[in-house]
Chain A
């Protein structure tokens, strides 16, 4: 059947099973928006394109399905850039569609022209400029395929407006094959045998789990694996939810703001089994002091992650879920870790997670604990960036994958709120909380309007310390308390929320915390809670940047 480029785009989105797209119109996507007008795929009009990219990202993180965002050429597309980079750093499947000036004008500095494929080349898994409508269907097919297979990531398709208007025969390519792109899914059997032997011979194994557990849905087999070999499990920020926090083998998060016991366990371990993690500097601290006594087995779908930062004894390239399954089959004998687990128990007693509960100021950790209790650990939590993010990671007990959604690699302030919108659309029946900072929330606060218009009832909990708290913490600890431009004033968040049509609740007393959370959940609307917390509370424990991970600042003496 003959169709225009714009119609083909919509048909392809339908064929890919897309149920929602986030976007913003403009001159060079007018033909596409004219077709969006007729489609039954849900379209969410955001208030800033960055919000569209983060919402698509949040939707993808919550559901596992690729998120879709749409923007016009020039400024529309450049406004997506932060969101695309964010998805790229955390390997999130996303398809971004941008309008481009007419193909015969490209390169002429036409109105609202920007070299968007050029700008996004280093922050996408792949990108396309479609100059011929005949290539459009195949390109869409390849974009979704590339975004969601192998190590997932964002793919951008730039479509000039004349291509959206041009007609051609619409043929959906049933099969997609890219000769230069063949991800490895199954581990090398020889390597798996070797790894199984190494595990059997170990006395102090630690499983170090990353975001790959979540993206490959390896959480169940990870649990089976850890329980079979009786190894404690620690995780990265991206790996949160990949292993139940309440399991007795859990060590919590490791690294800069990880638990003392996780970091000390890594230091004492004789075997690190890294699964879908990449030995990021926020995790390892000083490299030569990271796991000094351990051999390393590294399982990852991306060969370039292996031996990038750390020497690996047994690399296994492939899908985490497959490989853990294959490893389980090889584990006829399991190591005896009983004395190691006793040592871990002692570490847990020696370096407990704690905070100072004195005084009548609201402690941010307490707020998170209360949200955990009230939601029974069953909410989806998104975060902004800074102290709020670390407290949300440390003090809520995540037992399910895809329930903690946070900007890991890029650390993008302003991510959490639009991401919460995306997650809520993916799971309308779940309670979705954005744990926010007073700084970060102001970076995409305009999306309150999107929530109200579309009845996306997310809850925002601002841990309002009146500071760009995480930066202030570094200034306190490493720059002699010289608080250069980290003090924030205003706005009145309650009034702000109300002006958008959302509900606002201010909490200044500890005893009102729980009730405010309960009330926010009960209100059938988007709700912003402004918790006035202890202004100079710090995130502890903390490994100073570039130090060994067992040299932690404890906070509480």
Chain B
């Protein structure tokens, strides 16, 4: 099962290696990882999507993260109302006969063409994992040449 957790860490040398090293040393799977600075420059924010086979493993992952000296807080989004997004850049075939069809697909999502040249277009899409997945399925028939996704970021509601 996939779980989204966020980790507030001290913005210090080597902290990403500590977190990544913990996952590899203990055999936990990272599905995606996004790191950024926060309003407070001394703190970084990591959103990690982990693949944990059960509740015990998820608990261990959270406890082990908390044990790292540079980790300030660990938040599990599984049981929290939150907003989550990821961004995808998709390079697709963009030939004259498909242009209208592609435009109507894009309309259904938060997605737009950000660049096009010759027979290729780059689409930027933002949404929840499911939406991105659905969009990619719809675009599949036009021919996807390249795909880059950011991994998920998440924020709690309220507070």
Residue of A nearest to B26 (CB): A122
Is the contact region of chain B dominated by helix, strand, or loop, or is it mixed? helix
Residues of B close to A146: CB separation below 8 A: 69
Assess whether A122 is in contact with B67, with CB atoms less than 8 Å apart: no
Assess whether B21 is in contact with A303, with CB atoms less than 8 Å apart: no
Q: Indicate whether A37 reaches chain B with its CB closer than 8 angstroms.
A: no
The 5 closest A-B pairs by CB, nearest first: A304-B63, A126-B69, A180-B72, A122-B25, A303-B63
Q: Indicate whether B18 reaches chain A with its CB closer than 8 angstroms.
A: yes
Size of A's binding interface in residues, CB under 8 A: 18
Assess whether B63 is in contact with A179, with CB atoms less than 8 Å apart: no
Residues of B close to A125: CB separation below 8 A: 69
Q: Indicate whether A369 reaches chain B with its CB closer than 8 angstroms.
A: no
Residues of A close to B21: CB separation below 8 A: 121-122
Cβ proximity bits A260-295 to B, threshold 8 Å, 1 near / 0 not: 000000000000000000000000000000000000
Chain A, range 114-131, C-beta contacts under 8 Å to B: 117-118, 121-122, 125-126, 129, 131
Residues of B close to A129: CB separation below 8 A: 13-14
Q: How far is the CB of B69 from chain A (nearest CB, A)?
A: 4
Residue of B nearest to A122 (CB): B25
Residues of A close to B66: CB separation below 8 A: 303-304
Q: How far is the CB of A60 from chain B (nearest CB, A)?
A: 19
Q: Considering the chains assembled together, what is the distance between the CA atoms of A121 and B12 in angstroms?
A: 14
Q: How far is the CB of B118 from chain A (nearest CB, A)?
A: 42
Residues of A close to B9: CB separation below 8 A: 180
Q: Indicate whether A478 reaches chain B with its CB closer than 8 angstroms.
A: no
Residue of A nearest to B10 (CB): A180
Q: A180-B69, A304-B63, A304-B67 given as contacts; is B25 within 8 A of A117 (CB)?
A: no
Q: How far is the CB of B12 from chain A (nearest CB, A)?
A: 9
Q: Considering the chains assembled together, what is the distance between the CA atoms of A131 and B14 in angstroms?
A: 13
Cβ proximity bits A180-212 to B, threshold 8 Å, 1 near / 0 not: 110000000000000000000000000000000
Residue of B nearest to A306 (CB): B63
Q: How far is the CB of B153 from chain A (nearest CB, A)?
A: 21
Q: Considering the chains assembled together, what is the distance between the CA atoms of A89 and B9 in angstroms?
A: 25
Residues of B close to A122: CB separation below 8 A: 21-22, 25
Q: Considering the chains assembled together, what is the distance between the CA atoms of A125 and B63 in angstroms?
A: 14
Residue of A nearest to B13 (CB): A129
Q: Considering the chains assembled together, what is the distance between the CA atoms of A165 and B39 in angstroms?
A: 36
Q: Considering the chains assembled together, what is the distance between the CA atoms of A2 and B46 in angstroms?
A: 40
Q: Considering the chains assembled together, what is the distance between the CA atoms of A552 and B25 in angstroms?
A: 33
Q: Considering the chains assembled together, what is the distance between the CA atoms of A180 and B8 in angstroms?
A: 9
Residue of B nearest to A305 (CB): B63
Q: A121-B17, A180-B10 given as contacts; is B71 within 8 A of A308 (CB)?
A: no
Assess whether A181 is in contact with B69, with CB atoms less than 8 Å apart: yes
Assess whether A118 is in contact with B17, with CB atoms less than 8 Å apart: yes
Highest count of chain A CB atoms <10 Å: which of B14, B69, B72: B69
Q: Considering the chains assembled together, what is the distance between the CA atoms of A125 and B68 in angstroms?
A: 8
Q: Indicate whether B60 reaches chain A with its CB closer than 8 angstroms.
A: yes
Cβ proximity bits A83-126 to B, threshold 8 Å, 1 near / 0 not: 00000000000000000000000000000000001100110011
Q: How far is the CB of A179 from chain B (nearest CB, A)?
A: 6
Residue of B nearest to A121 (CB): B21
Which of A126, A179, A307 makes the CB contact (< 8 A) with B72? Answer: A179
Q: A179-B72, A180-B69, A304-B67 given as contacts; is B14 within 8 A of A121 (CB)?
A: yes
